[in-house]
Amino acid sequence: MFIELLRRGYKVFIGKIGDMEIDFAAEKNGEKLYVQVAYLIGSEETKERELRPLKSLLPLGDNFPKLILTMDDLPPSNENGIVRKNIREWILEG
């Protein structure tokens, strides 16, 4: 994922919000992109763990794109502006 973001021209950082971590905070041309990566989201606990850091940005007025990329073969979903996609599909989009 890190290499893919670099390939797309982003500067890539690890995001920290209190004791939570966002896997990749990327920036290109003044635009930000936040990305969480998980192998599978097979339980509500895993889903909430991946959503929590991204949700914490919402009350701060951060409206930049937020993604959760997984290997799940499910259709993309959008929960309060946080988009979950299959990582293979996302890579092919770029």
The per-residue pLDDT for range 6-20, each reduced to its tens digit, is 999 999 998 888 889
pLDDT tens column, 30-82 = 999 999 999 999 888 998 999 999 999 888 888 899 999 999 988 889 988 99
Q: Give the separation between CA 36 and CA 7, rounded to whole angstroms.
A: 18
How many distinct structural domains can be found in the chain? Answer: 1
Q: Which residues contact 74 (CB under 8 A, 6 or more apart)?
A: 84, 86
* Alpha-carbon radius of gyration of the chain: 13
pLDDT at 63: 87
More reliable by pLDDT, 90 or 15: 90
What's the N-to-C CA distance of the chain in angstroms?
12
User: 14: domain CATH number?
Assistant: 3.40.1350
* 66 strand-pairing partners: 34, 82
State which residues form the domain around 14.
2-93
pLDDT of residue 62: 84
